[in-house]
Structure 1
Amino acid sequence: MKKVFFAAIVLLATLAACNEAGTSNPDDTSKNVTAAPPAIQYAVVNKYPHDTSYFTEGLEFYKGQLFESSGGNADESPYPSELGISDLKTGKVTTKVRLDKTKYFGEGITFFNDKLYQLTWTSQVGFVYDANTFKKINEFKLPSKEGWGLTHDSASLIMSDGTSNLYYLTPDSLKLQNILRVTDNNGPVANINELEYINGYIYANQWETAYILKIDPATGKVIGRIDLENLQKEASSLRPGADVLNGIAYDSATGKMLVTGKRWPFIYEIKIQ
């Protein structure tokens, strides 16, 4: 009888311990919560005029000059589908490449090894030009249904398509090398748009938000976020019809960083901390 009584006590104690362990751990979710990307502070250093006819898709420095691309189509959009050199004094763009709007909606651009690369939106084609003459020397099929933003690191082109994916392409063969999924504390991050590679990190506009995301290319994790809502509000108040934030350019020679948006009245020079 004592053995039975002792066994019952041991069994009850074991069940109580298991029950305590089972009820405490699921409720302790603090260890499983991933912190949101920290805010990156910035200051506006300067403002330059911007061509408000440009539905900005790409913004990039090349040999000290600022290049900008715009997207438009013949049926629905009055905006040009072209790219050229943007004058920071006047805001006007000197056109270097003009696309057939009945066929192509221009998207992101980047320069790499004296070549200029340009995406199109839904035509699933990209173009390659001589960076000095702007003569078309090649075209290539995109690895996804749409082309949005474009940049490069020291070895690869990096493109976005409006999803959470970043596509790495070889600059010469233009073949797909790798797909990087962008994530934050809530999982995959959609609407990745215009891109710029700055000091080892990918900076990306997130479409329909006022955010620029700082992405670690080794992991795809968003490790910081710049909130440019104040600039978005100013642009909208000064230029009715100003659209979303889109456009990041960085001049590695001077450290100058520029941002703008579609049909914004200004290009802003900012300094991030």
Structure 2
Amino acid sequence: MNNFKLLTIFILTISLFSCGSNSDKKSSDFSLKTSGDKKEFQLGEEIQVSVLNPKNKEIDSVDFYFEGERLNVENGNFNTTIDLDHYKLGNQPIEAHIFTEGEKQEISKTIKLFNNSSPVSYTYEIVNSYPHDPEAYTQGLEFYKDTLYESIGQYGKSRLRKTNLETGEVYNEIKLDDQYFGEGLTILNGNLYQLTWREGEGLVYNLENFEQTGTFAYNESKEGWGLTNDGENLYKSDGTEKIWILDPETLAEKTFIQPAHHRGLSSKLNELEWVEGKIYANTYQKDGVAIINPENGAIEGLIDFRGLREKVTQHDKLDVLNGIAYNPNSKKLYVTGKNWDRIFEVKIIEK
């Protein structure tokens, strides 16, 4: 058999396998059209959605869904209207289940939903400052009963620490195994939860003695960045545009919000802190903190912390702003950074 025949047989074989592998993938006879073919919308707007039927197939019925909510079909024409006034922001799919000629076809179209107002701009005033370990690569910071807890990162140097804010005295500390890069932490129901970066699991401790009592998997997200809680659920950032909401019992990632302002989505949200019903989140390698509505992800404010880094001792290991702690008893807010030698009590002022 010559080389040409061998090549021909090889090509035919590949074609047959390719056809066979795609035989169960049928393209839909329908598509979705949004008003004006827009893909980006803001809260308060209205979307007209219709099913395009270029083959004029007989449609028995259509069910529309948005954020899991079944929508009304208008006038029997297989159209619907979505009033964008109470939905979560971010990338949101519109789905249609079309029943036609004894079969069901499912189609979807993703839109981007942004906030309908720009974030309020804030600056800060330094009220006080306290000592902070300049060797601490701060990843998570949180108060519990007026005592400060800190998660410190980097491979081989990661720690969990309990300290006195005013003096910097370390009350208790444990070192993580070298395989872990410590990230955000939070305290809920007598447990302390600490994230690791790329290891795909969080660590659970007894709050009193730092004895590790368990671990939890990240499920859908791949990394651990920031962590906080609202007294019921845990909120976890992972470096993407998502903040995951964790089940307090199983710690599974049950849903998420996508922080967004009036023009786009935000990512690289790092340290998280719950402050009077809002999530405060600093953006990694930026001197700003976003104030986020946990219900829909709207970024309602931005705090400009530029200039704060210049207030600490300058040295070779000095790194970015990272570390937000709110004391709910005193109503005071504190910020620091990676390898900073000061923690600052700050007052937030609208510009």
Superposed displacement of residue 34, structure 1: 5.6
Superposed displacement of residue 169, structure 1: 0.6
| Preserved CA contact (<8 Å) 2:139 2:182 | yes
More helix by percentage: 1
Work out whether 1:140 is the aligned partner of 2:216: yes
Kindly provide the amino acid, as one letter, of the partner of residue 86 in structure 1.
T
Work out whether 1:45 is the aligned partner of 2:127: yes
* CA pair 33-61 structure 1, distance change in 2 beyond 3 A: closer
Work out whether 1:67 is the aligned partner of 2:149: yes
Structure 2: segments with no counterpart, 5+ residues:
1-44, 46-113
* CA pair 215-174 structure 1, distance change in 2 beyond 3 A: same
Superposed displacement of residue 87, structure 1: 2.8
**Structure 2 SS opposite 1:183:** coil
| Preserved CA contact (<8 Å) 2:115 2:263 | no
Kindly provide the amino acid, as one letter, of the partner of residue 123 in structure 2.
Q
Work out whether 1:257 is the aligned partner of 2:333: yes
Deviations 1:131-178 (A, max 9, x none): 112111110101311100000013101010111110011122111221
1:220 to 297, 304, 310: 297
Rg larger in structure: 2
1:129 to 195, 205, 220: 205
Q: CA RMSD in A?
A: 1.9
Work out whether 1:120 is the aligned partner of 2:196: yes
**TM-score in terms of structure 2 length:** 0.64
**Structure 1 SS opposite 2:330:** coil
1:209 to 286, 301, 313: 286
Distance in 2 between the 1:238 and 1:227 partners? 20
Structure 2 equivalent of residue 231 of structure 1:
308
1:173 to 240, 250, 264: 250
Work out whether 1:191 is the aligned partner of 2:273: no
| Preserved CA contact (<8 Å) 2:138 2:339 | yes
Structure 2 equivalent of residue 14 of structure 1:
none
Structure 2 equivalent of residue 81 of structure 1:
158
Superposed displacement of residue 68, structure 1: 0.8
Superposed displacement of residue 88, structure 1: 2.7
Distance in 2 between the 1:167 and 1:89 partners? 33
Answer with 112-121 or 179-188: which moved more: 179-188
Superposed displacement of residue 33, structure 1: 10
Work out whether 1:100 is the aligned partner of 2:193: no
Superposed displacement of residue 234, structure 1: 2.6
Kindly provide the amino acid, as one letter, of the partner of residue 265 in structure 1.
D
* CA pair 264-106 structure 1, distance change in 2 beyond 3 A: same
Structure 2 equivalent of residue 54 of structure 1:
136
Superposed displacement of residue 238, structure 1: 3.0
Distance in 2 between the 1:177 and 1:272 partners? 33
| Preserved CA contact (<8 Å) 1:51 1:92 | no
Superposed displacement of residue 95, structure 1: 4.1
Deviations 1:240-260 (A, max 9, x none): 431111000011011121100
Kindly provide the amino acid, as one letter, of the partner of residue 148 in structure 1.
W
Kindly provide the amino acid, as one letter, of the partner of residue 154 in structure 2.
G
| Preserved CA contact (<8 Å) 2:161 2:174 | yes
| Preserved CA contact (<8 Å) 2:155 2:181 | yes
For residues 24-39 of structure 1, the aligned pairs below 5 Å read: 35-39=117-121
| Preserved CA contact (<8 Å) 1:151 1:159 | yes
Of the two structures, which has the highest relative contact order with CA contacts closer than 8 Å and spacing of 6 or more? 1
Kindly provide the amino acid, as one letter, of the partner of residue 114 in structure 1.
G
**Structure 2 SS opposite 1:233:** helix
Kindly provide the amino acid, as one letter, of the partner of residue 153 in structure 1.
D
Q: How many residues align?
A: 236
Structure 2 equivalent of residue 244 of structure 1:
320
**TM-score in terms of structure 1 length:** 0.82
**Structure 1 SS opposite 2:303:** strand
